[in-house]
Structure 1
């Protein structure tokens, strides 16, 4: 094909849209393609593509591709074969082609399809060669400079059309200087754009045998020839995810000789198992980078310091503390902390207690007990703090907080303190708005024990059971018969702090896992059963039925 005359070749101008994430987390969300022949545009292809993970709000606004659109879209394995047929025997043309080729190659690998590796031409390189005075080479800017009208941007088919018209406007110059497709690639230096995955040198054998990996959620471990772990990964589709490592050029992949795996019933089970295996095995390929912000935070109070404070943080606190969350929205959480501090007279300053000769502004307004003056009885401060924290030891701290404000308003009205009553009413309206923004139930993580069912991503009636007590995962595994669940639930309940106890204890090495589970539960809201001393087999049977797991199927698990 490379020796074909350039003037008679057919080209496919392509553009892709993604979820906006980098590296292995990048997923194709839309693909657009336009057939170009003889310097003219012909057939078109366009499709939104389903994704495995939810889209961020920012990328939805940027591209106009909504979560509802990708939810209703066909899967990559349904879209890409049709695109591959259209690409077959043609030259792929794209603007900044290395990006689109990488996205497509990764999507083909995830869909367990072979990348066709077509010849590639990049319109950025084309403009660099034949429009050198145009220094800004963004697609829309370049098109405008070449007299190409741009109707819409950041959608696959309109951008593919614009790319095709840019290519056509420079087609004559390239055709005059490149007799064949190979000459065109050499002229533009397109060999720098790798259309094939990088070759991995494997001195000790071929790629590990991956055919034995199932299309199920779980965890896989790549090992070297001596059995040492190289990399631990998790996925909702073990085989597809494991194969993708050999298309991205991972440095450890050259030494991988064996792969082990363990199937779980859910994504949460895979997350838990992966986290524990990485901690136990410490494989060199698992390098923890900087954690990306996800919008979830905790309200927490560490009880191991004098005059404890309420604060907002990304993780629950280790040691003796009260932690509430995770909740979405740092700004709303920080304002809620300020409201609680003012209502109960708690410290508004940081963890380090300053010493002052005069009260702070909050102290002068009567909204802080001013322990910074060094003359406050610690017992009085702790009494106020306990009143605030006990609101969240119950089932719903938000409702308890509003009821508390109502009681204080009634007292103020009865004592004819009408200004305070009006202030409390304004506080209540603001608190209602904050609680609505935070969403969910505000409850201390150490409170009680509960059984969570994490469903299989595809198969109905399959779950992982996770028991959470004292804010920690104390037991988990595939859902079994109700009688076995009852026994394990009783054990989890005994591991929980006594009802109404203020504060729990979270070991430092359990913080990451507690946050991992908390985020997944907050984002997915799975079926949950609150456990008590009398939660018996009948309650578990009814719970399984509500979750879509029949007693008959449970008994055969």
Structure 2
């Protein structure tokens, strides 16, 4: 199996490739609004090597307090001929361009730099900032050092320069402290800038202690399953890089409260490496449906999908059912909720005089009519006002809508909405529009799934965007039966034949339902419809109706979005 290399974004920036500028400032006091900078000291390092140093005195524009001169050794005479902060800051920003700023107690130094930039009308470049004090508090115990001051840490890590409240000396000592801290987090599996930033953020100790769960995971695409101490699935996810993604759950970047709770319970993480991203997405869906992990909020109950059915009887009616059976009836859906299915039924009844009673009617045994007959909303076959043949003309309109020709019913619904709008019954028109949207969404979904559900086998391929070669997918009756990748430069056909030979055997379903869950078939269809996907072979026909509900759905969704945008604009105005 050929693994897929993750993107640089997934893998992060290796710490050895990061340019750090370690900076220290000496000032005339503790308030950046009232006090000035007297000295800049900075050291540029990358990969453990010093690339350059920057040092300059600064004339703060006012006398240095005596106690500050005693502390730093910097006097008024030393800064009298020094540049003002505008010139010094401009030179420093050029020196630090494109780097990560590092400081010991970074909040102090950065606040002075930003205040100086505001006074000089210079834009602050928003460098990433790393605070060695904060990182040391998480890595250095009281048994190792009495406190987390720079002087104490310099002794602990064997700094070659003793900090003495002179900017460049303190910056040099901070460089040695930074390297010592990076070595420690490296032993804990932190190797990229992104991981270091997350590690240095405020993450509960209980969460950080679980980082070891990611240590043995592969740098490969696939699915990961968090499990509790009894081996029960807590959460299922997917990623192009399993180890990097799982690590993110133990960092500050994971802000979801329920995920923090899940991490506290988790004891193991099981990886499932997949050759293609589509297979990973499908496996995730199947695992969620099978195990119903309590921390997954979607895809847990695909069996609860509902279908709209035009029944098979002398006088057909609409019924909401839980499954498709091979009885020759027409179906639309599945719908995500009963309310959506009921809205679709209401849209049809709005313009088609289909009977709404629940009883099975006999053409030879009339019964009493309901109020809908008196209102003209039904042809009253129940009392013999319509023959089977006359009623069939009415039910055929609904059958056409569900199986692929929505034009007649949609024309009537558009006319109905226009009439209501002309009568200034805008709420009623909006209700009809929303019901119609539910209808065409369900019909379009069935019309997309039906051809794939009837296709015994479809083999498709596309160029892999990163690894080269081809992603190969075998679909049988709307279910992913197998996938693989051919190496870059290799003839893909032997891999195609191997994928077909080892693919899952799938029995034909009752279309339009596929042999998979609706969500799985939807994912497969979206993959097949991507630019660059090629059909290698097909056993059956994969087509969509020209006059189907898909066009009507796109039209109504655009109309609904335009209305929502208009409302939002009106509110914002």
TM class by shorter-chain length? 0.3 to 0.5
TM-score by length of structure 2 reads: 0.42
TM-score by length of structure 1 reads: 0.43
Larger radius of gyration: 2
